[in-house]
């Protein structure tokens, strides 16, 4: 049919492209669809539990600048105890709503190895009226010393006898990133080995029940 072999070969090559290219394109579409489905599934899992990467891992270390009901202590120095980190702020209504549970757990488990650490920062904008027990907008930005005094009055009013620690804003931002804090109250339960075991966000009663159950479980565990 073809007088010259190279012409025949050229036509065969063109014909093979006509067959192969669509086939390759179809295969590529299938692979892309598979990858998209896989990515969506992984994203779905991440959305279901955005803290999964922290669970079972060593708790990121930090140390407060100022503390109430104790001295500023590195988190890593609390190994051997069950630690409940409570990220909170004086202006946060849901945080205040969790105080009864925190007081209860502190009283029940403080002698059994539980250390509650309330973690907050300097906001400079709020004053506390001891007479009314209410937070007010400060007339001018508070100094660190003034805010520490305000926190002392606030804690006394709410009968917070567990450890409270304050981080400078820059350090607070870093620690919040480490623990993926995007909303408060944000509770992190750490076992006696210093490993993160549970994270709950919000003041819902269901969260309190799950935290209470895990606290009891971790108290019963022994550090090796």
Confidence at 84, pLDDT banded by 50, 70, 90: very high
Answer whether residue 21 shows pLDDT above 50: no
pLDDT, tens only, 105-118: 999 999 999 999 99
pLDDT at 32: 57
**Beta carbons of 119 and 88 less than 8 angstroms apart:** yes
**Beta carbons of 214 and 197 less than 8 angstroms apart:** yes
Rounded to 10 degrees, the C-alpha dihedral 59/201/167/149 comes to -140
Give the residue-averaged pLDDT of 164-189: 97
Which residues, including other chains, have CB under 8 Å from residue 55's CB and lie 6 or more apart? Answer: 49, 196, 197, 198, 199
**82-87 and 114-121 strand pairing:** parallel
Give the residue-averaged pLDDT of 46-61: 87
Encoded tokens for 76: 């890593």
Query: Which has more pLDDT, 55 or 34?
Result: 55
Answer whether residue 44 shows pLDDT above 70: no
Give the residue-averaged pLDDT of 36-48: 54
pLDDT at 40: 54
Range name among 32-46, 48-62, 85-99 with the lowest pLDDT average? 32-46
Residue 80 CA to residue 201 CA, distance in Å, equals 25
Query: Which has more pLDDT, 214 or 13?
Result: 214
Instruction: Locate all alpha helices (DSSP H) within the chain, ordered by sequence.
Output: 5-48, 93-97, 99-109, 144-157, 169-178, 205-220
Query: Which has more pLDDT, 98 or 21?
Result: 98
pLDDT, tens only, 185-223: 999 999 999 999 999 999 999 999 999 999 999 999 975
pLDDT, tens only, 121-163: 999 999 999 999 999 999 999 999 999 999 999 999 999 999 9
The length of the chain, given as a count of residues: 224
**Beta carbons of 87 and 201 less than 8 angstroms apart:** no
Confidence at 25, pLDDT banded by 50, 70, 90: very low
Answer whether residue 68 shows pLDDT above 70: yes
Give the residue-averaged pLDDT of 171-194: 97
């Amino acid at each position: 049919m073809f007088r010259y072999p190279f012409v025949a070969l050229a036509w065969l090559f063109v014909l093979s492209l006509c067959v192969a290219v669509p086939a390759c394109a179809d295969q590529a579409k299938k692979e892309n669809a598979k990858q998209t489905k896989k990515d969506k599934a992984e994203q779905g899992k991440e959305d279901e539990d955005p803290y999964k990467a922290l669970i079972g891992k060593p708790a990121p270390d930090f140390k407060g600048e100022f503390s109430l009901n104790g001295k500023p202590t590195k988190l890593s120095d609390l190994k051997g105890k069950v630690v409940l980190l409570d990220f909170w702020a004086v202006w946060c209504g849901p945080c205040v709503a969790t105080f009864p549970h925190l007081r209860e757990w502190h009283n029940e488990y403080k002698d059994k190895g539980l250390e509650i650490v309330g973690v907050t920062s300097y906001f400079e904008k709020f004053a506390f009226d001891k007479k009314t027990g209410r937070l007010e907008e400060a007339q001018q930005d508070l100094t660190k010393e003034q805010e520490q005094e305000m926190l002392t009055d606030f804690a006394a009013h709410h009968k917070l006898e567990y450890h409270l620690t304050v981080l400078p804003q820059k350090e607070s931002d870093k620690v919040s990133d480490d623990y993926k804090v995007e909303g408060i109250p944000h509770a992190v339960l750490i076992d006696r080995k210093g490993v993160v075991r549970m994270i709950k966000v919000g003041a819902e009663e269901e969260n309190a029940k799950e935290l209470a159950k895990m606290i009891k479980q971790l108290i019963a565990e022994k550090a090796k």
